[in-house]
């Protein structure tokens, strides 16, 4: 039986890559580099903002010693245009409404820093679904360490056997497996390489299809 559902954010609930790309390219322009395309930026998403910025610098051959300065630039630009281009994936809002109405406990576990994660959810009217939001800087560790996911489940009053984690990446899959939690994979997100030994419990190509699958496991 599933009673608790925890979601990843970027690439799972929202298509945020265009705004991440815009912030990254403004940062790179300030550092004297040409822009990078969205496919490259998408390949850098999933392990937190610091990892994304570090990968951008490495991609253009910039001095890694300037990571702190580049991070400040990125955060400033991204905060300014957090949801200019970012939107929920089709079917996400009806899915969350249906699960909320069905009495499921819903939480968010992302590697995006907590403040922009909360600000993004507020701007897109998603915060009403998530009493618990945990970001990549909330704890001392981040995904794929299982501690963040376990923290969210505990805060929601859930248990491992009754929880489903929904994500789009290898990081999410490893997090769920290490936490001993069932995993639903959204294959319309940002994972663009094969995952070794990949055996998700559920797979969906449209987020709107997930509600029916979850309800089947809630009876």
Domain ranges of the chain: 4-15+87-216, 17-80
Superfamily of domain 4-15+87-216: HAD superfamily/HAD-like (3.40.50.1000)
Over residues 75-107, the pLDDT tens digits come to 999 999 999 999 999 999 999 999 999 999 999
pLDDT for residue 192 is more than 90: no
The first and second tokens of residue 217, run together, are 């496991």
Query: Is the separation of the CB atoms in 169 and 46 below 8 Å?
Result: yes
Residues 8, 19, 145, 209: which is the catalytic one?
8
CATH architecture of 17-80: Orthogonal Bundle (1.10)
pLDDT for residue 46 is more than 90: no
Spatial CA neighbour of 192 closest among 161, 215, 156, 168: 168
- The pLDDT-based confidence of 177 (bands split at 50, 70, 90) is very high
Weakest mean pLDDT among 45-49, 80-84, 118-122, 132-136: 45-49
- The pLDDT-based confidence of 217 (bands split at 50, 70, 90) is confident
Annotation says 8 is catalytic: yes
User: Is 168 labeled as ligand-binding?
Assistant: yes
Residue 81 exposure: Cα atoms within 13 Å on the Cβ side? 16
Query: Is the separation of the CB atoms in 95 and 207 below 8 Å?
Result: yes
Report the DSSP pairing between strands 87-88 and 14-15: antiparallel
In the chain, what percentage of residues exceed pLDDT 70? 99
Residue 219 has a pLDDT of 60
User: Is 10 labeled as ligand-binding?
Assistant: yes
pLDDT, average across residues 32-51: 94
Phi, psi (5° rounding) for residue 28? -65, -35
Residue 159 has a pLDDT of 97
User: Is 34 labeled as ligand-binding?
Assistant: no
Spatial CA neighbour of 164 closest among 174, 149, 147: 149
The first and second tokens of residue 179, run together, are 């936490």
């Amino acid at each position: 039986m599933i009673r608790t559902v925890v979601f990843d954010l970027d690439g799972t609930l929202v298509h945020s890559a265009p705004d991440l790309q815009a912030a990254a390219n403004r940062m790179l322009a300030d550092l004297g580099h040409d822009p990078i395309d969205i496919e490259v930026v998408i390949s850098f998403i999933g392990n937190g903002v610091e990892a994304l910025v570090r990968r951008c610098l490495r991609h253009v051959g910039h001095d890694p010693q300037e990571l702190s300065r580049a991070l400040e630039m990125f955060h400033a630009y991204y905060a300014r245009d957090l949801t200019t281009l970012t939107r929920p994936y089709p079917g996400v809002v009806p899915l969350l409404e249906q699960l909320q109405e069905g009495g499921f406990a819903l939480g968010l576990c992302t590697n995006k820093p907590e403040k922009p994660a909360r600000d993004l959810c507020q701007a897109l009217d998603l915060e009403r679904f998530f009493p618990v939001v945990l970001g990549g800087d909330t704890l001392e560790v981040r995904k794929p360490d299982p501690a963040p996911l376990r923290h969210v489940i505990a805060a929601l009053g859930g248990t491992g056997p009754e929880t489903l984690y929904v994500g789009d990446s290898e990081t999410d899959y490893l997090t769920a497996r290490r936490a001993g939690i069932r995993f639903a994979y959204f294959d319309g997100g940002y994972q663009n390489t094969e995952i070794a030994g990949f055996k998700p419990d559920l797979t969906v190509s449209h987020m709107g299809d997930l509600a029916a699958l979850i309800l089947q496991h809630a009876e």
